Amino acid sequence: MKTFTDKRRNASSDGGNSGFKMKQLPFMGVICSVTLYIVYRTTNYQYYETQMETKLHPFDSVEDNELPSGKLKDLPRGIMHTHSDLELRPQWRKSLRSAVKVNTNKNLLAMPVGIKQKEHVDDVVKKFRTENFTIVLFHYDGKVDGWWDLDWCDKAIHIVAHNQTKWWFAKRFLHPDIVSTYDYIFLWDEDLGVEHFNPGRYLEIVKSEGLEISQPALDPNSTEIHHRITIRSRMKKFHRRVYELRGKTRCSNISEGPPCSGFVEGMAPVFSRAAWRCAWHLIQNDLVHGWGMDMKLGYCAQGDRTKNVGVIDREYIVHKGIQTLGGTGELTKKTKKKRGTSSGSSGLDTRAEIRRQSTWELKIFKERWNQAVTQDKDWIDPFPRQQRRRKHKRQSKFVDLYD
């Protein structure tokens, strides 16, 4: 039998427990409030980061980077793969060893080729094959059968379309999702001499200097050199800018854009994976010659183009200046005159038409760029100083080819 004292003790104990529970309620409320606040701030921060990423990288398409699950509701999400590549796959396995062979190709070389430049292309591909590059050849003359005597031909990928340009091929067959497994994409012309070029050593410099877009320097004895920044400097490993106080295009310390700095030419560009995703969107589907695009490639440099774009001097090439599309497949008229040979008239009319088309496409590309900048109110130009210089261009003693 419980005494009166035991009952009071029990009552006091129950009251203490109830009081402790009551004191816990405000504390738990504070914890919940803090947790909700943290979740709210984190969500806002992630949203802000996404918006800034979109503004800083306007060429990245959200639709291209997402799985198409919304459009392919009939398929289970797990069956869809976000990446592909250009590696050749055997139709059968000769042995268990070949079945587990690991692909080690990390870089890609793509070139437009014609049978008349077979010897030059062979020299280039042999250099890149030693570094285990994936090779893609764009045959603009349709003569694929003439290549099979080369020992590497069956290991390359051959794409045929008559009289199409490098940029036409690249837009259709080098989609960023397809080439996303490659660290670097070399998109070269076929008339390049590589006697003094090693792709492995080239990429060592590119990686060590953090270059997103680059090109090998041109030997000073090359033909068809259009911009001084591409000429090799014998005393440097690489360079990012050039100084020129003579001629029509002048480059000084205050020149921050193409073709004085942050610039490579279209004949032998090299892109990182991220830079190519941007550059691919810059290529216009219907403007196939690519004129004017090199002046805008700096926008794809993943940051400061004066730092992330460069020309490699230690590994350089020779531009042979050979006509391909619409031409004879021989040396240009300018080069023949320089070497004291007759030029002939074959193909000159077609080349003139191609030049007129290229000039027209340059005009259209400029108009499209300016219109896109005007219409996209959310886009922020990452090179604001360039805009101020453009407004005062007439009053400046230096001429910069920004437009």
* Distance of alpha carbon 279 from alpha carbon 317, whole angstroms: 23
The answer, yes or no, to whether residue 107 has pLDDT greater than 80, is yes
The answer, yes or no, to whether residue 75 has pLDDT greater than 90, is no
The answer, yes or no, to whether residue 296 has pLDDT greater than 50, is yes
State the distance between the two ends of the chain, measured CA to CA, in whole angstroms: 102
* Distance of alpha carbon 132 from alpha carbon 403, whole angstroms: 40
What confidence score (pLDDT) does residue 274 get?
Answer: 96
3 state SS for 183-238: CEEEECCCCEECCCCCHHHHHHHHHHHCCCEEEEEECCCCCCCCCHHHECCCCCCE
The answer, yes or no, to whether residue 206 has pLDDT greater than 60, is yes
Length of the chain: 403
Residue whose C-alpha is closest to residue 133's, from 101, 165, 160, 155: 155
pLDDT per residue as tens digits for the range 343-397: 444 444 687 888 899 999 999 999 999 999 999 999 989 887 654 454 444 444 4
CA distances from 298 to 112, 150, 222, 379 (A): 24, 37, 25, 16
The DSSP code sequence of 231-291 is BPPTT-SEESB--B-SSSS-B-TT--STTTBS---TTS-EEEHHHHHHHHHHS-SS--S-T
pTM of the model as a whole:
0.73
**Domain boundaries along the sequence of the chain:** 107-319
Cis peptide leading into 259, omega within 30 of 0?
yes
The answer, yes or no, to whether residue 46 has pLDDT greater than 90, is no
SS3 130: coil
pLDDT per residue as tens digits for the range 213-238: 999 999 998 877 888 899 999 999 99
The CATH number corresponding to 107-319 among 1.10.150.80, 3.90.550.10, 3.30.2230.10, 3.40.710.10 equals 3.90.550.10
In sequence order, what are the residues at sequence separation of 6 or more whose Cβ sits closer than 8 angstroms to the Cβ of residue 44? none
The answer, yes or no, to whether residue 5 has pLDDT greater than 70, is no
